[in-house]
Chains A and B, each alone.
Chain A
Amino acid sequence: MLKFISSLKLAVFLIAAIAAISVLATIFPTADAFNSWTFRLLVVAFFINLGTCTIKILPALWKQLHREASQVPVQAEYTAYDVDRESLIAWLKEQRYRVSDVCEGNQIKILASKGRLGLCAPHVLHISLLIILIGAMMSMSNTSGFVMGQVGQSRPFPAELVGHYGENSYIEILDFQTVYDDKQEVDNWVTKFNLYIDDTLVAENVETKVNEPFAFNNMLIYQNSYDYRHLLEVTGSTVAEQNSAYGIPNNLPLTVGADTIVVADLSGKMYLQVSDHVNPARGQFVQPGDALALSEAGAQVTYLGTIAYSVLEVKTRVGTPVVFLGFILAVVSSMMFLCGRYREFWVLCNVDEQECHVHCYSKNAVVVEEMEELLHEKWNKKAEGQ
């Protein structure tokens, strides 16, 4: 039973099944397959399969890493080479092999190995996957919600997080800025705020921006998005109700009498435009207080300023550090794979002989071929029967 649970056959089946469900899930997104019990069961089975397999393999890996020259088997296929022991050892060391030797009576055994990182790589990767899965399961309990407000406002925590942080937790938004790069393109959005948890100020004048969320204990605060309103005031119209203050979204038209008014944010500069759909539209860059005449004689629109709303997302992040630990291990193991495969040279020779008997060992047949080629290039094989 344990043999089956930890088997490669089961692994292949599970990986194929998870892949197949994922394919179906992207084709039929409404089925919500990733939250289905079948999928969760498969992932749990995968976890158990990989976990038991890893536990089973680790002792053998440990042994392999601690192999000694005395363990070089005598019963294996050896090829005789015309080289003395010292030269062979020197050459192996030159090739960056770890070399150890031992003298047993008349016979000397040499073990040369390299590629330990490559040997451990799959196991480190498997362990990293197990850690990521544990973290992912932990993070299923996370919640998140949005906080939206303009500069100067204090806004309560989203309802989803009240259970975690109490009713008297809130964010006081101190500043919200759009940052531009030297080409006048939006580089980032930055919110500065005070964070209160249970009426206590726990973080003062801290900031969050896209790609750099603010972290506090098990909570992250993201710059999720933003929104803003341009404040306008119409005066001097004979239609009384048109003389009013307006807050309009960016780039969306406001109709006042015969006129359509638009304010556009052009790389941080506000452009006010008035059009009566008869004459060419009139427009200019404006500062707060600047006004533009409307088509009705005596009426004008004054730009008062722009207020921005920052939209923040507050999330708990249980499990995320665990997942990140797994991520780091996964990247490390990926680099270990690129350090080359594990291989060993087994060498036997007699104390008084000028020849060495060599066996090339690797799990991978092509690596064995490479090793043999390398040997043939450097040293002459002894003619058979000698």
Chain B
Amino acid sequence: MEQMQLPLLWFMLAAYLGAFMFYAFSFWARNAKIRSLAQKFVYVGLFLNTAVVLLRSVLIGGLPLNNGFEFGLSFVFAAAVVFVFIERKFNMSAVGLFVMPVLAAISVWLVSIDLSVEPVMPALRSYWLAVHVSAAVIAYGSFAVSFAVAIAYLIKDKKEHDSTSRVHELPSLKVLDEVSYKLIFVGLPFLTIMLVTGAVWAEYAWGSFWSWDPKETWALITWLVYALYLHTRFMKGFKGKRAAWLSVLGFAAVIFTFFGVSYLLPGMHSYLV
């Protein structure tokens, strides 16, 4: 069964890439029919994504949250679920053009790494880990989509005055700004839960709830950036463009916490990737 993971992942990647292509095509052709085709590809991708998550759960006999691959897999899954939710609720399917590249990029990474099932070291055998990583997956999923919506905002903002521009296919600036904010407002509590449960787990496993390990520090930086996002919104002139840039910055911190720290900086968490 372990061998089934890779082909399923490839199909999932193809579906997300296909969705991206059709979103791009529909954007270029201003064609809603093609866009609904793109949506179908998203559903197929999400279906396959769910299949890999379930398969992996069966293989390891638990939630797929134990190593870098499993985390990435769940992350893509969460981001796809969040996207499907907001595209239905706020009728903003066109934003898929910006969400799909994120999903596809992480999927590319997933097919390129080691998928074998390895034993889990004792320190990782903790219920705190499950809560810690689940919260991270939900937070990161929301932030990924918020980032994509913020990019859509920035692009639309740039071309707003050009009445012939295709950016008018996108939802209004106000809706983009609000949805990007809402996703951060929902994501931040989960990031808080991630930090807290991570600290509790570290206290039980390593005897210190905080040790300024680079991954920890970067998770804190991410949390601070999003806290900054929420507080600057109370200040004049910080909605819209500046907020969108902060969302981009926040997601850059997410990505650096996940990849950058593991590949560029040393630390306790390096076993995760």
Question: Measuring CB to CB, which residues of chain A are less than 8 angstroms from any residue of chain B?
Answer: 8-9, 11-12, 15-16, 18-19, 22-23, 25-26, 29, 34, 125, 136, 144, 183, 185-189, 210-213, 220, 222, 224, 313, 315, 320, 323-324, 327, 330-331, 333-335, 337-338, 366
Considering the chains assembled together, what is the distance between the CA atoms of A12 and B237 in angstroms? 14
Q: Taking the complex as formed, is B161 at the interface, i.e. its CB lies under 8 A from any CB of chain A? A: no
A212 and B204 form a contact (CB under 8 A): yes
One of B15-23, B45-53, B63-71, B117-125 at the interface: B117-125
Besides A22-B221, A331-B192, 4 other A-B contacts (C-beta < 8 A): A25-B217, A210-B123, A211-B205, A224-B207
B204 and A26 form a contact (CB under 8 A): no
Considering the chains assembled together, what is the distance between the CA atoms of A187 and B125 in angstroms? 8
Considering the chains assembled together, what is the distance between the CA atoms of A187 and B122 in angstroms? 5
Residues of B within 8 A of A18 (CB): 224
A334 and B192 form a contact (CB under 8 A): yes
Q: Kindly provide the distance from the CB of A334 to the nearest chain B CB, expressed in whole angstroms.
A: 3
Q: Taking the complex as formed, is B114 at the interface, i.e. its CB lies under 8 A from any CB of chain A? A: no
Q: Taking the complex as formed, is B232 at the interface, i.e. its CB lies under 8 A from any CB of chain A? A: yes
B218 and A26 form a contact (CB under 8 A): yes
B235 and A220 form a contact (CB under 8 A): no
- Selected contact of B189 from candidates A19, A183, A220, A335, CB within 8 Å: A335
Q: Taking the complex as formed, is B101 at the interface, i.e. its CB lies under 8 A from any CB of chain A? A: no
Considering the chains assembled together, what is the distance between the CA atoms of A11 and B236 in angstroms? 15
A15 and B217 form a contact (CB under 8 A): no
Residues of A within 8 A of B203 (CB): 320
Evaluate whether A11 and B207 lie within 8 angstroms (CB atoms) in the complex, with A22-B224, A187-B122, A330-B196 already known. no
Residues of B within 8 A of A15 (CB): 224, 227-228, 231
Q: Kindly provide the distance from the CB of A129 to the nearest chain B CB, expressed in whole angstroms.
A: 10
Interface size class of B (residues with CB under 8 A): 35 or more
- Selected contact of B122 from candidates A183, A186, A337, CB within 8 Å: A186
B204 and A324 form a contact (CB under 8 A): no
A334 and B218 form a contact (CB under 8 A): no
A25 and B192 form a contact (CB under 8 A): no
Considering the chains assembled together, what is the distance between the CA atoms of A338 and B191 in angstroms? 13
Q: Kindly provide the distance from the CB of A133 to the nearest chain B CB, expressed in whole angstroms.
A: 11
Tell me which of A26, A183, A186 has the highest count of chain B C-beta atoms within 10 A of its own C-beta.
Answer: A26
Majority SS at the chain B contact face: helix
Residues of A within 8 A of B185 (CB): 337
Considering the chains assembled together, what is the distance between the CA atoms of A324 and B199 in angstroms? 9
- Selected contact of A8 from candidates B126, B189, B221, B235, CB within 8 Å: B235
Evaluate whether A213 and B204 lie within 8 angstroms (CB atoms) in the complex, with A26-B214, A136-B210, A323-B209 already known. yes
Considering the chains assembled together, what is the distance between the CA atoms of A144 and B217 in angstroms? 22
Q: Select from chain A the residue with minimum beta-carbon distance to B212.
A: A34
Residues of B within 8 A of A23 (CB): 221
Q: Taking the complex as formed, is B265 at the interface, i.e. its CB lies under 8 A from any CB of chain A? A: yes
Considering the chains assembled together, what is the distance between the CA atoms of A15 and B208 in angstroms? 24
Residues of B within 8 A of A366 (CB): 178, 182
Residues of B within 8 A of A8 (CB): 231, 234-235
Q: Taking the complex as formed, is B111 at the interface, i.e. its CB lies under 8 A from any CB of chain A? A: no
Q: Select from chain A the residue with minimum beta-carbon distance to B235.
A: A8
Residues of A within 8 A of B106 (CB): none
Residues of A within 8 A of B197 (CB): 331
Considering the chains assembled together, what is the distance between the CA atoms of A366 and B200 in angstroms? 36
Considering the chains assembled together, what is the distance between the CA atoms of A26 and B228 in angstroms? 20
B119 and A186 form a contact (CB under 8 A): yes
Cβ contacts A to B, 25 pairs, < 8 Å: A8-B231, A11-B231, A12-B235, A15-B231, A19-B228, A22-B217, A29-B214, A186-B122, A211-B128, A211-B201, A211-B204, A212-B204, A213-B207, A222-B207, A315-B208, A324-B200, A327-B199, A330-B193, A331-B192, A331-B196, A333-B189, A334-B189, A337-B186, A338-B186, A338-B189
Considering the chains assembled together, what is the distance between the CA atoms of A218 and B264 in angstroms? 38
Q: Select from chain B the residue with minimum beta-carbon distance to A9.
A: B235
Q: Kindly provide the distance from the CB of A215 to the nearest chain B CB, expressed in whole angstroms.
A: 10
Considering the chains assembled together, what is the distance between the CA atoms of A205 and B202 in angstroms? 25
Q: Taking the complex as formed, is B225 at the interface, i.e. its CB lies under 8 A from any CB of chain A? A: yes
- Selected contact of A185 from candidates B119, B204, B208, B225, CB within 8 Å: B119
A12 and B196 form a contact (CB under 8 A): no
Q: Kindly provide the distance from the CB of B189 to the nearest chain A CB, expressed in whole angstroms.
A: 3
Residues of A within 8 A of B208 (CB): 315
Evaluate whether A210 and B231 lie within 8 angstroms (CB atoms) in the complex, with A136-B210, A331-B193, A338-B189 already known. no
A334 and B193 form a contact (CB under 8 A): yes
Q: Kindly provide the distance from the CB of A5 to the nearest chain B CB, expressed in whole angstroms.
A: 16
Q: Kindly provide the distance from the CB of B241 to the nearest chain A CB, expressed in whole angstroms.
A: 17
B192 and A211 form a contact (CB under 8 A): no
Considering the chains assembled together, what is the distance between the CA atoms of A327 and B197 in angstroms? 8
